[in-house]
């Protein structure tokens, strides 16, 4: 479920494997992923070019192409990337395949077709047009506190609202609220100052630890809720069991004993 930590890991992976390499061949898979572009345009834009740098805003990843345009990748629920040499290693559900002139290949993989591929000229205009808010972990505390305080719905809703702040989804909003000791059903505007600070701190800690774990739950601390997204599951930090309720239309996991409702 690619949220900011996952996409950040993809970004670093691309940075360490695929930059500055001439793209000799391009294959687009399912066209339903293409946003306001065509298979032909994507292929002709990328062929002969190269990715020079990458930029992440929220769950969106932009690769700047030599020549000035950008390749946009959004991963939906099931998107990922891969870099490999032999065609036999091509992942199932590869939807964009770039072959470099060193014979290595880059794949954007997406099992379900909830995601997006685009070629765009202007990154800022794209973000504006799609109303993608500032990246959550780049907000100052003051900006963050103001945004959460403005939310009329639950604090979880606001954290997940990509127009308000971008990058956090269902799994990491639960994780951050868990470490903050805040019930996800709390109203953002009801949070006291000290809890806003706890929330801001937990957001940074969780994202940092998740990125260090390469967004692999198995490499995250045992104290993380991510291992216990199962109703009634109990562990040291939530001995009486995890609750599951629909909050903001999502299946939300939290610990009723340690997360206080405001």
Partner DNA sequence: AGTACCACCTGACGGC
Partner DNA sequence: TGCCGTCAGGTGGTAC
Chain contacts with DNA (rule: CB under 7 A): 1-3, 32, 58-60, 74, 76-77, 111-114, 130, 150-154, 157-158, 160-162, 169-171, 229, 244, 248-251
Provide, rounded to whole angstroms, the least separation between the CB of residue 100 and DNA: 28
Nearer to DNA, 23 or 210 (CB): 210
Provide, rounded to whole angstroms, the least separation between the CB of residue 86 and DNA: 23
Residues 156, 175: contact at Cβ < 8 Å?
no
Provide, rounded to whole angstroms, the least separation between the CB of residue 32 and DNA: 6
90 DSSP 8-state letter: P
Residues 185, 195: contact at Cβ < 8 Å?
no
The label of the residue with tokens 């996800």 reads 184
Nearer to DNA, 100 or 178 (CB): 178
| Alpha-carbon distances of 62 from 82, 143, 204, rounded to whole Å | 16, 24, 22
Residues 119, 70: contact at Cβ < 8 Å?
yes
Nearer to DNA, 187 or 201 (CB): 187
Provide, rounded to whole angstroms, the least separation between the CB of residue 157 and DNA: 5
Residues 73, 95: contact at Cβ < 8 Å?
no
Q: Which residues partner with 118 through β-bridges?
A: 72
Q: Pseudo-torsion of CA 171, 173, 179, 185, nearest 10°?
A: -110
Total Cβ atoms within 10 A of residue 142? 9
Nearer to DNA, 46 or 225 (CB): 225
Total Cβ atoms within 10 A of residue 120? 16
Q: Which two tokens stand for residue 115?
A: 């995601």
Provide, rounded to whole angstroms, the least separation between the CB of residue 35 and DNA: 8
- 217: CB partners within 8 A, 6+ apart: 224, 226, 227
Nearer to DNA, 2 or 134 (CB): 2
- 257: CB partners within 8 A, 6+ apart: 238, 239, 240
Provide, rounded to whole angstroms, the least separation between the CB of residue 33 and DNA: 10
Residues 107, 66: contact at Cβ < 8 Å?
no
């Amino acid at each position: 479920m690619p949220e900011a930590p996952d996409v950040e890991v993809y970004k670093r992976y691309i940075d360490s494997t695929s930059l500055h390499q001439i793209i000799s061949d391009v294959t687009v898979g399912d066209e339903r992923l293409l946003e306001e572009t065509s298979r032909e345009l994507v292929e002709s834009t990328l062929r002969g070019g190269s990715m020079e740098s990458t930029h992440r805003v929220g769950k969106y990843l932009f690769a700047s192409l030599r020549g000035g345009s950008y390749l946009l990748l959004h991963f939906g629920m099931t998107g990922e990337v891969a870099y490999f040499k032999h065609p036999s290693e091509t992942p199932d559900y590869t939807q964009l395949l770039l072959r470099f002139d060193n014979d290595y290949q880059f794949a954007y993989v997406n099992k379900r077709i909830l995601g997006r591929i685009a070629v765009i000229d202007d990154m800022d205009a794209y973000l504006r047009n799609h109303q993608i808010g500032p990246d959550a972990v780049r907000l100052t505390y003051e900006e963050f506190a103001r945004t959460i305080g403005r939310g009329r719905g639950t604090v979880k809703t606001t954290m997940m609202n990509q127009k308000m702040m971008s990058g956090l989804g269902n799994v990491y909003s639960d994780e951050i609220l868990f470490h903050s000791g805040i019930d996800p059903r709390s109203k953002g505007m009801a949070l006291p100052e000290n809890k806003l600070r706890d929330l801001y701190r937990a957001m940074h800690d969780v994202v940092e630890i998740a990125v260090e774990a390469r967004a692999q739950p198995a490499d995250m601390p045992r104290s993380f809720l991510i291992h216990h997204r199962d109703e009634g599951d109990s562990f040291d930090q939530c001995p009486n069991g995890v609750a599951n309720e629909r909050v903001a239309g999502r299946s939300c996991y939290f610990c009723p004993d340690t997360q206080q409702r405001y």
